[in-house]
Structure 1
Amino acid sequence: MSQLEPSSSEPSLANKSPHSLQRSYRAVVIIAVCGMFSYGGYSMFHLYQNAKISQIKAQKLGAKALALSASLSEETAMNQDLNQALADKKKSLLVLNQRIDDMETVLGIEPPADNQTIEQRVDTAAINSAVRATLFQLIPNGAPTPNAQLTSGFGTRVHPITKQRKRHDGLDFAAKIGTPIYAPADAVIERARSSNYGYGNQLTLNHTMGFISSYSHMSKFNVKQGEFVKKGKLIGWTGNSGLSTGPHLHYEIRFLDKPLNPRPFVKWDIDNFEDLFKQEKNVQWASLLNTINSMVAMQVQLTGDENHDLDIATAQHTQVSKKQAED
């Protein structure tokens, strides 16, 4: 067989012209370059997208950071306000404790127990203060004729008219006719008697707890029998009626119809509160004080917390008086 020769229609690479080869190379290069540009463009677009997403995330994180910072600043300011308020409360508490200490000292209350709350201490002080105020309102105290001169005391004396030695059951205050006379405590007018003999024009005031006071030689009355009067009420004016050597007021205090020396009652005030109980032995002060204390304690409980303990400590003067009464 004869050897087949290549077909003339399929030229070999060797037979290709240089221009054809160059065009092929250029096409390959262009394709490669385009591929590279395409890949680079895609990569850049992908990086741009990632950067954009990262920027958005960064903005969100920044906004959250600002919100957290603002919240932290607000909480810091609130904490500062709370700390300042707490400091103010502590300062106020110290001042309150000091005031309660001062009040307890003035009222003669024994030092409080370690487990006693401020509310209990305030209640105790309030009760003792109210007890004193109640006693000053109900039991005669102070001079019925302010600034009048005391001319005759309580006890046995020689009567200035009869010249006989006789018991003087009250105090005499020299006062011009028409000097005002004031009620030394709350009372009801038990008697308003007009007379030209003996004690002359006389008023009798019935106070509470068995105390009675009387006012003699008056010029005229400003109240009527059966009338209720408050402490400090103008009840009449001094005079020179009855058996009298000159214008004056004869003032008596009685307890269960027994005459008491009015001088301790005239001098009795908040500064010498204990003195009356020591000087006047004819009154069972411990029993009286405990009664008043119970009344006031109940009032405090009714106006305060119903869960408070009703066994509130009484004032030291009550305990001292009770001890004196037992002795």
Structure 2
Amino acid sequence: MPSISGRLFLSIPQDISVNAIEVKIVGSLKIPRPEINAGPCQGGTTVERRQILASSRDNSFRLPRGRYEFPFELPIVREMMDTITGVGHTYHSYEVRGVIHRHFYSDIESTTPLRIHRTPNVFYANLLDQVMPSYEEHPNEELNLRYRISIPTHIPFGASFPLRFEYSSLSNLPQKGQLPSDIHPRSITIHITETHALKVTPTASDAINYNNYLPSTFRKEHVILHQSYAVQRPARALLPESLDFDYSATIPVHLPRDFQACTQDVQSELIKVHHSLHFNVEFEPEPEGETVSLQRNKVASPTYFLPCLSAYLYATRYTVILYTEN
């Protein structure tokens, strides 16, 4: 069974009376309510696992001054929710707490944040190489061409991945009102949108004030990445899967690596997060002339964000340093 292990360090400047010393891992869910609704965030404690490090059969025991070190190991299960954070939110979080329980005095507590993520089924280093790219083909009568966008099917959190754009003419001779077939992309602009769907149960006051007793889902979205690329003169499509197209161009896409700048894909009863890739391609006829734009709102195949390598479930060790009050 996977576990979180570490050490609790105590520095005691003077003798104290202690009831018990424990370490625990606590998961907290906080889903904000829409602005129209009143009340605190929806949520609470999702998991709490504890380990008693020292205790007495009597009410308390005396702990002499000095420095102490307590190893601990807290088991966790696969069914635990992932850590879910991002731009302006902390939907679900974990922390390790070291606590000294005392009689007649306030407990002494120190906390350390903890991230828990499920690892992908495919080894991270080969994740982009072992999956088949997703494709979508479209004809465009205005430009007299057909094009295809391809990206990997599974994209790890914080990764850089290739986006390949392929195109070819629908006919050798353009029809009246259409552009010549010898054109090439001048620039490609992309942005990745993150969409959140949060299920909220109304509070008692909201149920009375708005006569709404059923859970509701509200959505919000924001752009986590916006990049523009100048495309060099494209080369002939030489890859086997690109033989149906005359030209291809590939650009690198670099995703945010900060857990506070992006949220991984989530599919749960209360929280759903997904990402979509939007793009705009500017074409330039040959000879050079006025540019025309080809816009496509969304790639059909979704982009999956998986936990990055540093968030492995089995390789986490944490140290909690706890000092008493003078």
Q: TM-score range by the shorter chain?
A: under 0.3
Comparing both chains, which one has the higher relative contact order based on Cα–Cα distances under 8 Å and sequence gaps of 6 or more?
Answer: 2
TM-score between both structures, scaled by the size of structure 1: 0.19
| TM-score, with structure 2 as normaliser | 0.19
Q: Judging by fraction of residues, say which structure has more helix.
A: 1
- Between Structure 1 and Structure 2, which shows a larger proportion of strand residues? 2
Query: Which of the pair has more CA radius of gyration?
Result: 1
